[in-house]
Amino acid sequence: MRPKVAFYWCASCGGCEEAVLDLAEGVLNLADAVDIVFWPVALDFKEKDVEEMADGEIAVSFVNGAVRSSHQLNMARLLRRKSKLVVAFGACAQMGGIPGLANLTTARDTLREVYGEADPPALEFRDNGHTLTLPKLFDSVFPLDRAIPVDYYVPGCPPSPKIVSDMFDVLLNGELPEPGAVLAPDHAMCDECPRRDSRPQELKLDRFHRVQETAIDPEKCILAQGVPCLGPATRAGCGSRCIAGNMPCSGCFGPTSRMRDYGGKALCSLASVVEGNEVAEIDRIFEGLVDPVGTFYRYSLPSSFLERKRWE
Amino acid sequence: MEIATATAGKRRITIDPVTRLEGHGKIEIFLNEQGTVDRAYFQVPELRGFEKFTQGRPAESMPQITSRICGVCPMAHHMASTKALDRVYKVEPPPAARKIRELVYSTFMVEDHTLHFYFLGGPDFVVGPKSPAAERNVLGVISRVGIETGRRVIEMRRKLRDLIALAAGKAIHPVFGVPGGVSKRLTREDAAQFQQVAAEAVDFAQFTRSTFEKLVLQNGEYVDLIKSDAFTHETYYMGMVDAGNRLNFYDGALRVVAPDGHQWGKFDPADYAQHIAEHVEPWSYMKFCYLKEIGWRGFTDGPESGVYCVAPLARLNAAEGMATPQAEEAYLQYSGVLGKPVHHSLANHWARVIELLYAAERMKELAGDPEITDPNVRTLPTEVPVEGIGVVEAPRGTLIHHYRTDSQGLIVKCNLIVATQNNAARISMGIEKVARALVTASKVDEGILNMVEMAFRAYDPCLGCATHALPGSLPLAIRVSDSRGNLRSVLRRERDGSIHRE
Amino acid sequence: MPEPFEPKIVAFFCNWCTYLAADLAGTSRIKYCPNAEVVRVMCSGRVDVQFVLKAFAKGADGVLIGGCHPGDCHYQEGNYKALRRYRLLRRLIRQMGIEDERLRLEWISAAEGDRVRAVINDMVETLKRLGPLQKSEEERAHLLEVA
């Protein structure tokens, strides 16, 4: 009997769904090897179909997206109950992702921004005797493992094709890794970068450039050109595709196992490559980094030590 | 039928979640005592807050941040964002860069429309709207059209996406958009690959068109369904056109035609705020766009109502023709059968196939352009950043990114009108109309509920796109209506617990 | 009656300078506010940004880093590395809503026992004025809601 498999998306963009579809022909092999019992983007099974399953009936649930609503929390819990294994798939499930930047603001300010002068939507609305509900949206965004115990993590925004196909190999055929493992190589992207041969032994920058300020040489190490690149602080496995696109790494694969707070460590790595011994000089060099939190915590704010901006 | 007995005497049917689209949604159908549909609502229960949390971010990071609004159409956001940055920094990309952008964008349109046709919306027609749920999906499509065809579709998508990655870094969340250009040039080898795949794409588009003809247009039942009143609405239509009023996905003016087909307006996308406004309903996080000058008259059809729609059906109504020969031929055939303007929502599927063909032909044109390998692909900005608007036709409709920055280029204000929002009102109307036509307490089954879902699927909605902003503990509002549906009063409980009656 | 707020400071002192200075303050019976929890590191350059963030997350109201004067670092460059990280980190925590007076970097040599007193006392006064960093009950409840 084929193992049952489910895919679900919380506060997600759908890119992780596409990442699975990017197996291309591999999707056909997958569909032969497993019985996909829930996948809203592609299949017509509904929530009640999952509710009717026995606990543990699903072999693996791949959940992407961050948790930021009562509905997503309930779905995460439902799938946890019905599954033997749950995989936090993608940067949002692993670390909070780009939606995690909402942890820099508050619900009240966001509502005002979105709905302006109009009344925002209501959790419960009665119209002519009919009751309509919307889920409660939390003030903060959470990675999946704050909502439920997670067995494995697959990093990336989205996970790269090789990471995805390796994941299916290991979970469906091979020996299961250590619980809690991140299913990707455990060294820095820098080590695999196609431009690493042009990386100087010692890097000392006297300024940082924003991408619109300079044309990036497509042959040389991007950080060495003064453009902030987080390759040194980021887990490998992505195939360095952003570098191939002649743009710097923005850190979507998150930390290696030797880092606890991705943004803090990423900050350290950029601070290490500047020269300057005086405050004024150092501050001038860092002027080129105009948005520290957006640069270092773009994908990982909810999973950081501080988790969110302090409420006023 | 299980559902019919389960709902005998029941007043409420919930479809949760809606499937074969991007994003989260649910449909609530309320039945009255006679067992017929009283009201149906298409609710979008998600919200992430892009318009808020992008404040304070550097403008040049917006193409990569806003692409995370949607992983199915990230290229659309990336491109609208990049174009907005051109205006923010008052910088023109060199011709090669502009062509590379449009080339990659056309490639994306082929790929995304293919996804919708075969994976998302297509199964309803290819497998059948009321076939078992377990078969109404791409795997069911493949079992109907055959494994060889299935492989051909999958391989075509893979090649298109590999090309996008070649030029833009990644297919999902591309990186190549910068103010004043693109991050890398195309070499002759790259261009040759694009030309090769473009030629295959045109063939593939024609193949898709003939598949559609065979499986849908030659099926009388489906044609009746397409033309049926339940799936028809007469609204305004908007799309981007070039100087000759032919459809263009990358750039142009926005043209709006009235339900009777005459041009109601044609404007520079930078003036969108004069013509488009957003309406809020308490029961969905998605806002509803309408034409400002006509006004919001509720969820109704007709020239007096500001409801309009976008995406393939609308674009083919708003345009006066297609800019490439094979697509133009297909368009004339389409108009010959359905007339103009076309008000049948399910005709979106047909219009999408024609757009797929246009995108493939456009891809071929641009890939063969000798200027596309020019190494000059960047104009470095020199002006102080201020404000900019970037508009493209996303697969799912007109997409507007509007940014205002401080003098350092950090985002101060971000306004996004995202494709599916333009369709939100018409989608809601469609759900209700189809539910009313097809659902009764004694007659409902899972297949009929799928047909209600088909009412939105035709638009290929992207609900993650449509709800890009964010949350909180919200007040409760109770609207008290009399038996004639007149609003008598509104009771509101605020966050602090106080209650007001209006 | 509510207890007066006593700020908690986590102080990372380098082994060769500041830690000795604190020792000296001790043996000289120099009194200063007892609010600092001292962590000895071999060099101010050892202070990883993660340490600072963790300290704030775990209840510190302020974090103090003490190192050798520029030019005097036992490892030549370590204190400059600390300085560079510190200048960028200040901007980061400000974006996170943490007042940058809560994070302080001071050069204190082994002989400057009195300076340890002055810096810590000054920091305690500043933190008393700023108030506790910890999350409000409401904020904490929201963060734990999911668990």
Query: B66 and B54, same structural domain?
Result: yes
Return the half-sphere exposure (C-beta side, CA atoms, 13 A cut-off) of residue B111. 30
Query: B443 and B389, same structural domain?
Result: no
Query: B480 and B467, same structural domain?
Result: no
**Residue C2 maps to a domain:** no
- Residue B6, pLDDT score: 44
DSSP A182: B
Query: A124 and A94, same structural domain?
Result: no
Query: B418 and B452, same structural domain?
Result: no
Query: A22 and A167, same structural domain?
Result: yes
**Residue C4 maps to a domain:** no
Neighbours of C28 (CB within 10 A): 11
Verify whether the Cβ–Cβ distance C56 to A307 is below 8 Å.
no
Chain B contact for A291 (CB, 8 A cutoff): yes
pLDDT over 90 at A172, yes or no: no
> Min CA distance, A308 vs chain B (Å)?
12
Query: B27 and B174, same structural domain?
Result: no
0.85 surpassed by complex ipTM: yes
Q: Which residues of A touch C97 (CB under 8 A)?
A: 309-312
Q: Which residues of A touch C103 (CB under 8 A)?
A: none
How many cross-chain Cβ pairs, A to C, lie less than 8 Å apart? 101
Q: Which residues of C touch A291 (CB under 8 A)?
A: 95
**Residue A210 maps to a domain:** yes
Return the exposure string of B318-343: e unless at least 16 CB atoms fall within 10 Å of the residue's CB, then b. bbbbbbbebbbebbeebeeebeebbb
User: Which residues contact residue B125 at a Cβ distance below 8 angstroms, ignoring those fewer than 6 apart?
Assistant: B215, B216, B219, B222, B349
Rounded distance, CA A117 to CA C142, Å?
A: 26
> Min CA distance, C133 vs chain A (Å)?
8
Verify whether the Cβ–Cβ distance C146 to A296 is below 8 Å.
no
Query: A232 and A118, same structural domain?
Result: no
> Min CA distance, A65 vs chain C (Å)?
15
Query: B480 and B461, same structural domain?
Result: no
Angle of helix A25-33 relative to helix B147-168, nearest 10 degrees? 130
**Residue A111 maps to a domain:** yes
Instruction: Report how many domains make up chain A.
Output: 3
**Which of B53, B374, B454 best tests the A interface by mutation, with the highest count of A CBs <10 A?**
B53
Query: B436 and B406, same structural domain?
Result: no
pLDDT tens figures, C101-129: 999 999 999 999 999 999 999 999 999 99
Query: B446 and B498, same structural domain?
Result: no
Query: A233 and A89, same structural domain?
Result: no
Numbered residues of chain A with Cβ closer than 8 Å to any chain C Cβ: 67, 73, 104, 138-140, 142, 146-147, 259-261, 263-265, 267-268, 270-272, 274, 276-277, 279, 282-283, 286, 289, 291-293, 296, 304-312
Phi, psi of A149 (to 5 degrees): -65, 135
> Radius of gyration (Cα) for chain B, nearest Å?
23
Residue of B nearest to A287 (CA): B408
Phi, psi of B320 (to 5 degrees): -105, 0
Confidence of residue A115 (pLDDT cuts 50, 70, 90): confident
Verify whether the Cβ–Cβ distance C147 to A146 is below 8 Å.
yes
> Min CA distance, B233 vs chain A (Å)?
24
Query: A262 and A123, same structural domain?
Result: no
**Residue C21 maps to a domain:** yes
Query: B167 and B130, same structural domain?
Result: yes
**Residue C3 maps to a domain:** no
Give the H/E segment covering residue B181: strand B181-182
**Residue A311 maps to a domain:** no
The domain in which residue B405 lies consists of 50-425
Which residue, A228, A249, A232, A226, is CA-closest to A299?
A: A249
Task: Cite the beta strand spans of chain A per DSSP E.
Answer: 4-9, 35-38, 58-64, 67-69, 83-89, 124-127, 130-133, 137-142, 152-154
**Residue C44 maps to a domain:** yes
> Min CA distance, C130 vs chain A (Å)?
13
Q: Select the residue of B16, B71, B478 nearest A15 (Cβ to Cβ).
A: B71
Query: B72 and B196, same structural domain?
Result: yes
With pLDDT > 70 as the criterion, what percentage of chain B qualifies?
Answer: 91
User: Which residues contact residue B46 at a Cβ distance below 8 angstroms, ignoring those fewer than 6 apart?
Assistant: A11, A69, B23, B24, B285, B463, B464, B467
Whichever domain contains B329, its CATH number is: 1.10.645.10
pLDDT over 50 at A126, yes or no: yes
Confidence of residue B43 (pLDDT cuts 50, 70, 90): confident
Numbered residues of chain C with Cβ closer than 8 Å to any chain A Cβ: 48-50, 52-54, 56-57, 70, 80-81, 83-85, 87-89, 91-92, 95-98, 133, 135-136, 138-139, 142-143, 145-147
Q: Which residues of B touch A290 (CB under 8 A)?
A: 58, 408-410
> Min CA distance, A261 vs chain B (Å)?
21
**Residue C37 maps to a domain:** yes
> Min CA distance, A290 vs chain C (Å)?
10
Query: A209 and A124, same structural domain?
Result: no
pLDDT tens figures, B457-484: 888 888 777 666 432 222 334 444 444 5
> Min CA distance, B323 vs chain A (Å)?
30
Lowest mean pLDDT among B167-171, B238-242, B413-417: B413-417
Q: Select the residue of A27, A97, A102 nearest B49 (Cβ to Cβ).
A: A102
Q: How far is CA A284 from the centre of its chain?
A: 32
Verify whether the Cβ–Cβ distance B409 to A210 is below 8 Å.
yes
pLDDT over 90 at B448, yes or no: no
Q: Select the residue of A271, A304, A305 nearest C88 (Cβ to Cβ).
A: A271
Name the one residue in this structure whose structure tokens are 């297509």. Answer: B122
Rounded distance, CA B420 to CA B273, Å?
A: 17
pLDDT over 70 at A75, yes or no: yes
Q: Select the residue of A140, A277, A306 nearest C80 (Cβ to Cβ).
A: A277
What SS3 class is residue B353?
helix
**Which of A38, A134, A291, A295 best tests the B interface by mutation, with the highest count of B CBs <10 A?**
A134
Verify whether the Cβ–Cβ distance B184 to A212 is below 8 Å.
no
Question: What is the DSSP annotation of B103-122?
Answer: HHHHHHHHHHHHHIIIIISH
**Residue A31 maps to a domain:** yes
Q: Select the residue of B51, B60, B72 nearest A114 (Cβ to Cβ).
A: B51
Q: Select the residue of C83, C85, C143 nearest A140 (Cβ to Cβ).
A: C143
Q: Select the residue of B28, B176, B378 nearest A245 (Cβ to Cβ).
A: B176
Query: A82 and A11, same structural domain?
Result: yes
Strands A124-127 and C9-14, by their bridges, are unpaired
Confidence of residue B286 (pLDDT cuts 50, 70, 90): confident
Whichever domain contains C64, its CATH number is: 3.40.50
Q: Which chains touch A (3 or more CB pairs under 8 A)?
A: B, C
- Residue B472, pLDDT score: 26
Rounded distance, CA B189 to CA B204, Å?
A: 22
Q: Which residues of A touch B47 (CB under 8 A)?
A: 114, 137
Angle, CA B168 vertex, CA B165 and CA B173 arms, to 5°? 80
What SS3 class is residue A67?
strand
Instruction: Report how many domains make up chain B.
Output: 3
Angle, CA A169 vertex, CA A168 and CA A175 arms, to 5°? 115
> Radius of gyration (Cα) for chain C, nearest Å?
16
Residue of A nearest to B385 (CA): A212
- Residue B487, pLDDT score: 55
Query: B363 and B440, same structural domain?
Result: no
Lowest mean pLDDT among A16-25, A204-213, B364-373, B445-454: B445-454
Query: A202 and A119, same structural domain?
Result: no
pLDDT tens figures, B482-494: 445 455 555 454 4
Lowest mean pLDDT among A265-279, B44-58, B458-472: B458-472
Which residue, B59, B66, B68, is CA-closest to B91?
A: B59
**Residue A183 maps to a domain:** no
pLDDT tens figures, C15-66: 999 999 999 999 999 999 999 999 999 999 999 999 999 999 999 999 999 9
Query: A61 and A150, same structural domain?
Result: yes
- Residue C145, pLDDT score: 66
- Residue A43, pLDDT score: 86
In A157-216, the residues whose Cβ lies within 8 Å of chain B are 157-158, 210-216
The domain in which residue A126 lies consists of 106-133
Residues A287-295: what's their mean pLDDT? 97
* β-sheet bridge partners, residue B254: B240, B267
Q: Which residues of A touch C91 (CB under 8 A)?
A: 286, 292
Q: Select the residue of A24, A40, A123 nearest B154 (Cβ to Cβ).
A: A24
Q: Which residues of A touch B161 (CB under 8 A)?
A: 22
Q: Select the residue of A22, A42, A216 nearest B161 (Cβ to Cβ).
A: A22
Rounded distance, CA A78 to CA A70, Å?
A: 12
Query: B203 and B179, same structural domain?
Result: yes
Verify whether the Cβ–Cβ distance A212 to B282 is below 8 Å.
no
- Of residues B37 and B237, more confidence is placed in B237
Q: Which residues of B touch A48 (CB under 8 A)?
A: 16
Verify whether the Cβ–Cβ distance B472 to A122 is below 8 Å.
no
Q: Which residues of C touch A264 (CB under 8 A)?
A: 48-50, 52-53
Residue of C nearest to A304 (CA): C53
**Which of C49, C83, C93, C139 best tests the A interface by mutation, with the highest count of A CBs <10 A?**
C49
**Which of A36, A110, A249, A296 best tests the B interface by mutation, with the highest count of B CBs <10 A?**
A110
The domain in which residue C71 lies consists of 9-144
Name the one residue in this structure whose structure tokens are 């833009």. Answer: B168
Instruction: Report how many domains make up chain C.
Output: 1
How many cross-chain Cβ pairs, A to B, lie less than 8 Å apart? 298
Residues B281-288: what's their mean pLDDT? 84
